[in-house]
Amino acid sequence: MKAFRLDELEAERAANEGAYLQFLRERNMSVGLYALNAGEHDPQKPHNQDEVYFVVSGRASVSVGQETTEVARGSVVYVPAGVSHKFHHISEDLRVLVVFSPPES
């Protein structure tokens, strides 16, 4: 079993001074914690993998292709491989679990 605590992952991510911390990588998927602070710009580019975002905390809008919706704690968003996507109008510090399938390369 592999088990993780969100507070420990957030501390590790912050200590590494990065917006993204991959904490699990397996044959068919990888999982990470993505953090954007209120007012920050999301620099993401389309990925070669399908993604699922689970919003742990915060508030923002997210655009996937031509569609936009508001997200907050508990929101789940699917992003198909190759589709442009960005979080924006981040009004509260955003913490998001990200699942890539296959694993992010």
Tokens 């699922």 belong to 52
Mean pLDDT on 41-68: 97
Is residue 87 over pLDDT 90? Answer: yes
Name the average pLDDT for the chain: 97
Averaged pLDDT, 68-84: 98
User: How much is the pLDDT for 3?
Assistant: 97
8-40 tens-digit pLDDT: 999 999 999 999 999 999 999 999 999 999 999
Mind giving me the DSSP string for 15-78? HTT-SEEEEEE-SS-EEEEEEE-TT--------SSEEEEEEEEEEEEEEETTEEEEEETT-EEE
CA angle, 11 then 97 then 55, to 5° = 105
Q: What is the mean pLDDT of residues 76-87?
A: 98
pLDDT reading at 105 higher than 80? no
Question: Does the structure show a pLDDT above 80 at 101?
Answer: yes
CA dist 36 → 1, 29, 39, 78 (Å): 29, 22, 8, 18
